[in-house]
């Protein structure tokens, strides 16, 4: 594992980590994090994938994790970033350190990390997207136990806390994590719209998803407290011109009591879920991703 500093298109510095296999890599994988989750959460899984012969890159979006601004100079208060900026960060990682010459490049997106590829402009470099816990964040598509809390979150906690602090102090509130003002308010618009990002942002975003030609395979965890089957299908349908598949995984399938939204990447599943993810990545056909015109 080695740390890297990557410069996004507007000069913003991002911190990424690369996990290299002992032998020449068979393919390259970018692991893109969920909202408010640092790249450190995926270290064990990234190391395991590298041990299987893949060149793996993780990263933190601007304003999060190790890519967060120096707190001695104000931290996230007044820090300007939105989800389009995070898509630009994704592009920079793909361009700078993910792609290997003559080797396929796969994205492994957790939650938001599987949503943003519809917004990236270098889709032609991607040969497949494997999503874990990926779906529409529209609040009426949330699981019942989360839906009870969502009205307070979106109509009280987010607008009030963001206005008071200049960013969303999620760690202090034990909700999601600290997020730049532009990110949380844009995400709020998405989550209040039945068509999620495509509905909130309009034609340009809809077309971005529709231009994707790489295969998309989503793993829908049946006890995911955030993403329901309906939410996953709604998001998957945005990739309207891509070969796409939705696969259901229940805890009982891997002799577990619980997986949830975050459990997939825990080492307890290194003998069960992780090999399944590797098989899905290897199952992508590198010739199926067409360059975007």
DSSP readout, 56-87?
Answer: EEEE--TTSGGGSPPGGGTTTTT----HHHHH
pLDDT of residue 75: 78
CATH (domain of 135):
3.40.50.1820
Q: Is the pLDDT confidence value at 256 over 50?
A: yes
Share of the chain above pLDDT 70, in %: 95
pLDDT of residue 291: 39
Residue 267 maps to a domain: yes
**Do the Cβ atoms of 163 and 143 come closer than 8 Å?**
no
Residue 187 maps to a domain: no
Contacts with 128 (C-beta within 8 Å, 6 or more apart), sequence order: 104, 106, 107, 214, 215, 216, 217, 281, 284, 286, 288, 289
Instruction: Please measure the distance between the N-terminal and C-terminal CA atoms of the chain and give it in whole angstroms.
Output: 36
Residue 116 maps to a domain: yes
Half-sphere exposure of 293 (CA within 13 A, CB side): 2
Residue 193 maps to a domain: no
pLDDT of residue 292: 37
Cα–Cα distance between 157 and 172 in angstroms, integer? 12
Q: How far is CA 155 from CA 135, 140, 165, 190, in A?
A: 21, 14, 16, 13
Mean pLDDT of 261-274: 97
Note down the domain range covering 219: 2-143+203-288
pLDDT of residue 145: 81
pLDDT band at 290 (very low <50, low <70, confident <90, very high): very low
Extract the tokens encoding 38. 């640092």
Q: Is the pLDDT confidence value at 287 over 70?
A: no
Specify the number of domains making up the chain: 1
What would the pLDDT profile of 57-80 be if each residue is shown by its tens digit? 999 999 999 998 765 445 799 899
What would the pLDDT profile of 91-139 be if each residue is shown by its tens digit? 999 998 777 777 899 999 999 999 999 999 999 999 999 999 999 999 9
Mean pLDDT of 142-168: 92
* Helix (H) and strand (E) counts in the chain: 12, 10
How many Cβ atoms are within 10 Å of 85's Cβ, its own excluded?
21
């Amino acid at each position: 594992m080695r740390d890297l500093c990557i410069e996004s298109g507007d000069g913003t510095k991002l911190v990424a980590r690369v996990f290299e296999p002992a032998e020449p890599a068979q393919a390259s994988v970018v692991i893109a994090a969920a909202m408010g989750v640092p790249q450190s959460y995926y270290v064990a899984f990234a190391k395991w994938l590298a041990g299987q012969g893949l060149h793996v890159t993780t990263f933190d979006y601007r304003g999060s994790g190790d890519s967060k601004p120096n707190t001695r100079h104000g931290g996230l208060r007044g820090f300007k970033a939105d989800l389009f900026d995070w898509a630009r960060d994704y592009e920079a990682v793909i361009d700078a350190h993910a792609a290997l010459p003559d080797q396929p490049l796969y994205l492994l997106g957790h939650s938001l990390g599987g949503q943003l590829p519809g917004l990236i402009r270098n889709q032609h470099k991607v040969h497949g997207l494997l999503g874990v816990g990926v779906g529409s964040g529209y609040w009426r598509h949330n699981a019942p136990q989360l839906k009870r809390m969502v009205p307070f979150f979106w109509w009280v906690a987010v607008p009030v806390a963001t206005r008071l602090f200049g960013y969303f102090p999620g760690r202090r509130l034990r909700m999601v994590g600290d997020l730049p003002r532009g990110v949380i308010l844009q995400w709020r618009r998405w989550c209040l719209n039945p068509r999620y990002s495509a509905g909130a942002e309009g034609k340009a975003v809809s077309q971005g998803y529709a231009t994707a030609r790489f295969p998309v395979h989503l793993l829908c965890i049946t006890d995911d407290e955030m993403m329901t089957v309906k939410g996953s299908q709604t998001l998957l349908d945005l990739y309207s011109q891509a070969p796409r598949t939705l696969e259901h995984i229940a805890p009982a399938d891997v002799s577990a009591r619980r997986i949830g939204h975050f459990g997939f990447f825990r080492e307890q599943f290194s003998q069960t879920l992780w090999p399944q993810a590797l098989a899905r990545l290897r199952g992508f056909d590198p010739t199926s991703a067409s360059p975007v015109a």
